[in-house]
Chain A
Amino acid sequence: MIAAIYRRISALLLLLVVIGTTQICWAHAILKDSTPAPHSTVKGPDFDVTLRYNVRIDGTRSRVLLMSPDGQAAALKLGSQPSPDTLQAHATGLKPGAYKLQWKVLASDGHMSSGEIRFTVN
């Protein structure tokens, strides 16, 4: 009886250790190059957006949002991928100001990654 209780308590303690100490590890596609580059200034109102990563990206399941200076978000329509690691889009009608590109991509290894690029349009 006591042995059985001990076994149960042992299992509970082990479970507590695992739950209490387990931490998160994330996977990431890394942005290698981009147009516009972070903190750069581009000439508006229209320009091409190119994002190149360290791994193959699933373009059909990835999203790029353009955040305008007034906080409005608009999804950019992604064009066909020039290479498996690159996403392309075209931004139009941008007024001068500070913008953000927010990207969420699905790498071919199944991991989602996200990031943002701040830039200015003049």
Chain B
Amino acid sequence: MLLKLVDLFSFLSVVLRAGTLVFQSVLLGGMIFVLWVARNSPAAAPDSIARIQASSWRMLRLSAVGLAIFQLLYLYVNSAVLMTSAEIGFDGVIGANFFVSGGIVLTAALMTAVVASGNKNIAKYTLPVLAVVVMGASVMTNHAASRIDGRPVLIALSCIHELATGFWIGGLPFLVLGLFRARDITTQWYLTERFSRMALVCVAFLVLSGTIMSVLYIGSWSAVIGTAYGVMVGAKATMLGALLVLGGVNFLLLRSTTKENALPRLRRLIEAEVGIGITVILTAASLTSQPPAVDQLNETVTLPQIYHRFKPAVPRLTYEYVAEAAAPSSGAEATGGASAAQNPPVYNVDGVPLTTRLINNSIESESNHHWMGLVVLAMGLLALLARTGRAPWAEYWPLLLIGIAIFIFLQADTECWPVGWKSFGACWADPEVFQHRMAALVCVGFAIFELRVRQRKRDGGGMALVFPLMCAIGGAVLLTHSHAITNVKENLLVELSHVPMGIIAVFAGWARWLELRLPEKDRAIPSWIWPLCFVLIGAGLLNYREM
């Protein structure tokens, strides 16, 4: 019970840490926005700027309060974990590095909320100081501060990286709000141009500091793809690349077309930037919670091992389990038994023979993934077909989501009714079964939603945005999933298949979002991207392997 509580609190502490990072970035972005981007100028309408400033200050206060709440909860949960794990009292927690740092961030966040509510002339001078305090305290608990070698350089690079992230990505929600609040095109144009200039500088610092830190924390080319840290940095870099593409389109729009043409598109592209940007921050939170690749050199998976696992093979669509072995073979102790004598032995990535139980677990998992892959591939292909406009019946592809729900209901818990011996009611008590049934219910819900959206054709109002958001959130969750310390290589191989699918799901979600939100004439490219993403996810699932 106690261990479960510690597990739950450790999990919560990671979620809260991610929330803290997001709010911290928005806070920093808000500070630069109110102090520099949304300033009065002859190039902007004074009443529009006044409206933008008022709403930006309000959002800055909210982000400060949000940061304070998350930081307070993080402190509470992390203190509880430490008190339980180390069996110490609360007085023993108070001097801990995370407690001091968290206390400073909490105080600075509350002070920001107060300052942002008061005299704006005083705020102009106090906000930069508070930004430095938040940054300094935040860096106290990241990888850089806990290193032994090269600490000052790494701390400086981390500061630059986090500041640039905050100013750019954290500033984007303020830009979206500002564009909404500015009712005239001149002010919207002024705001976007100023933000674009600031973002350009941030991107340069972000990429430079990120590249140097990647070299120092990853250490070798083989670790880029052979360690969880390297793979996650790769995921971050890929999404940053997508952000740069969107930013590049914005940049070109600002300079190559009229304000009237550019602004409606810019606003929607910036919405997608906000979503992908927050996913990048969540990935960064996941990254800070695992050891750098240079510390796991012995756990690096080699290219031949990766090729061996992911070389294309016929999908496994049957559940043909291996027979139980009569006696364990030598060397199998580490995995708890032995493979069946009548079957060829199966080895894990380290060359250790797998037990019959592990082989059968992998067979079941692979078959489940492959069936899912088949359905998702079909969804993608039908969506592509529907996109051509020549097969209106293909618009009913969301019905396949109900197929997924039925599959989860029947296959995820084979001991339960209708295929197993346990009654339908009795199985609800098992948390895993509960989770599976909820997932099945969610699939049915989304099938109905998306079908209704399709019946109303493209726009479908706010309801239509649920499905893209679900894709994007699902992708983000895949990118922030577990990074185990035990069985590191096997987990990395699983991660290598899931991380690309997570990235593609994020892209699918935001492409569909753009298809729904962009002006009619600009929807062509995103409307092809998301079905293609579904096809790629389906193909990825079909090639998923655990042995």
Interface set of A (CB-CB < 8 Å, partner B) = 3, 6-7, 9-10, 13-14, 16-30, 32, 54-56, 58, 60-63, 83-85, 104, 106-114
Contacts and interface: CB of A to CB of B under 8 A. Distances in A.
Interface string B450-477: 0000000000011100100110011001
Given A17-B474, A109-B98, A104 B146 contact: no
B11 interface: yes
A113 to B, nearest CB: 8
B547 interface: no
A13 B435 CA distance: 13
Nearest to B228: A25
Nearest to B471: A17
Interface in B69-102: 78, 81-82, 85-88, 92-93, 95-98, 101-102
B143 A109 contact: yes
13 contacts: A20-B439, A24-B11, A24-B14, A25-B481, A26-B290, A26-B483, A26-B484, A30-B296, A54-B295, A61-B88, A84-B148, A108-B146, A111-B289
A14 B92 CA distance: 39
Contacts of B14: 24-27
A67 B290 CA distance: 28
Contacts of B82: 61, 106, 112
Given A26-B484, A110-B141, A61 B445 contact: no
Contact of B463 (A10, A29, A54): A10
Contacts of B482: 23-26
A30 B141 contact: no
Contact of B289 (A25, A30, A56): A25
B290 A14 contact: no
Given A56-B146, A112-B86, A16 B438 contact: yes
Which of A17, A18, A106 has the most chain B CB within a 10 Å cutoff?
A17
Contact of B470 (A17, A29, A32, A61): A17
B47 interface: no
Interface residues of B, number: 58
B291 interface: yes
Given A28-B291, A30-B295, A112 B85 contact: yes
Nearest to B83: A61
B300 interface: no
Nearest to B145: A108
Interface string B238-258: 000000000000000000000
Contacts of B435: 20
Given A13-B446, A26-B483, A112 B81 contact: yes
A55 B288 CA distance: 13
B145 A109 contact: yes
Contacts of A21: 439, 474, 477
Contact of A62 (B86, B98, B292, B480): B86
Nearest to B441: A16
A64 B277 CA distance: 41
Contacts of B11: 24
Which of B86, B145, B292, B474 has the most chain A CB within a 10 Å cutoff?
B86
A10 B449 contact: yes
Contacts of A109: 97-98, 141-143, 145-146, 288
A14 B461 CA distance: 17
Nearest to B465: A10
Given A21-B477, A25-B483, A58 B96 contact: yes
Contact of B466 (A13, A62, A84, A106): A13
Contacts of A107: 146
A27 B290 contact: yes
A6 B138 CA distance: 40
B442 interface: yes
Contacts of A113: 485
A60 B86 CA distance: 10
A30 B292 CA distance: 10
B10 A112 contact: yes
Given A26-B289, A54-B291, A85-B148, 4 more contacts: A10-B462, A18-B477, A30-B291, A111-B289
A30 B485 contact: yes
Nearest to B437: A20
A109 B14 CA distance: 12
Contacts of A83: 148
Interface in B117-153: 141-143, 145-148
A63 B36 CA distance: 49
B86 A61 contact: yes
A81 to B, nearest CB: 12
A6 B147 contact: no
Given A14-B473, A28-B290, A84-B148, A23 B463 contact: no
B237 interface: no
B81 A13 contact: no
A25 B480 contact: yes
A63 B95 CA distance: 16
A110 B438 CA distance: 34
A7 B217 CA distance: 44
Nearest to B143: A109
Which of B92, B296, B466 has the most chain A CB within a 10 Å cutoff?
B466
Nearest to A110: B98
A23 B145 CA distance: 27
Contacts of B188: none
A107 B98 CA distance: 9
Nearest to B87: A63
A9 B445 contact: yes
Contacts of A85: 148
